[in-house]
Amino acid sequence: MFGGPVTGPGHPHRRQSRHRERLRQRAALRRRQIRHGGEVVDVAPVEPREHLTRAVGGLTAPAEVRFQGFLSPVRGEVRAGTVQYCKEVPNRQRYALSVSGGGEALGYFVSGSWEDNEGVLPNDREKKGSLRGNFTFTPLRSLQVQWNTAYATTRLDHTAAGNNAHGLTLNAFRRDRNYARSETRQAIDPLLNQELTTHIDHLVTGVTATWNPRPRLTSRLTAGWDLSQVDLRNLRPYGFPLAPTGIISDRRFRYQNLTLDYVGTADVPLGPAPRAKGGPAGLRRR
């Protein structure tokens, strides 16, 4: 009645042991192979970037995370993953040049720069250019004119992302539950055929004239103009997969500020200059 433990074929411990063994075999199979139309086919070797640990029914098995993509059940198609579209090392470049010189009657400083930077996603790009010039004229001995101007332009290209039904990231990570109804690259790649751009122009210029007809009289007049323009453009061309008739939106904003400033300075003595008591004439020997 109180014999040894029952360990027959139907005992829970035996069933759990067999279940764990099957999980081990399946985990080993998934790491190197997939099932394709009822046939076991080897997967092209992919170097894993990261190893995770997955616990299933008390069993801990390593799971490989592959960023390059996954084979689809349909032969010849590749499933799209969000990270698969990311660039590992985006290109960045910047160039700058400046020159200065002049003499007593004319002085100048001119500089320019250009940047071209790629982002992580396919359509992310930034292009920036700037030009600056400072000039000083002295047409008369009592008159000096300074002219300073700076211009900068920026163009940003964006990849449709976020909670956007026509965007890349939402449709990529939702896989076959996305708005394209397919997780293949053939279905998601056409979503990149759209323009989301931001174009910014900024101009600042100003002139300052300083007149000094007498040693104790100075007049200075400054005029400045600040102009900024922003163009937001969103274009989905005709034949876009999720909007066949196309979509276009263009919004422009313009800001400007004009300033004028005058300063006059006159140094007029009101009487003879006071004489300091501690000066050389007031020194005493003690």
Each residue of 190-229: pLDDT tens digit?
A: 888 999 999 999 999 999 999 998 888 999 999 999 999 9
Judge whether 22 lies within some domain.
no
Judge whether 135 lies within some domain.
yes
Torsional sign, CA 55, 60, 65, 70: negative
Judge whether 51 lies within some domain.
no
Q: How many domains does the chain have?
A: 1
Q: Which two tokens stand for residue 141?
A: 């001995």
Residue numbers of the domain that contains 120: 91-160+195-266
Q: Which two tokens stand for residue 33?
A: 């192979």
Judge whether 273 lies within some domain.
no
Judge whether 225 lies within some domain.
yes
Whether the model pTM is above 0.75: no
Q: Can you list the alpha helix ranges (DSSP code H) found in the chain? A: 12-32, 168-173, 185-188
Judge whether 21 lies within some domain.
no
216, exposed or middle or buried, with CB in 10 Å at 0-12, 13-18, 19+? exposed
Q: Which two tokens stand for residue 122?
A: 């396919």
| The pLDDT value given to residue 127 | 96
Judge whether 4 lies within some domain.
no
Judge whether 53 lies within some domain.
no
Q: How far apart are CA 52 and CA 94, in angstroms?
A: 39
Q: How far apart are CA 123 and CA 234, in angstroms?
A: 13
β-partners of residue 6 are: none
Provide the 8-state DSSP code for 181.
S
The tens-digit pLDDT sequence of the chain (286 residues) is 444 444 555 556 666 777 777 777 766 665 544 444 433 444 444 343 333 333 334 434 343 333 334 333 333 444 556 667 777 778 899 999 999 998 888 999 999 999 999 988 889 999 999 999 999 999 888 899 999 999 999 999 999 888 888 888 888 888 778 888 887 888 888 888 999 999 999 999 999 999 998 888 999 999 999 999 999 999 999 999 888 999 999 999 999 999 999 999 988 777 776 665 655 554 444 4
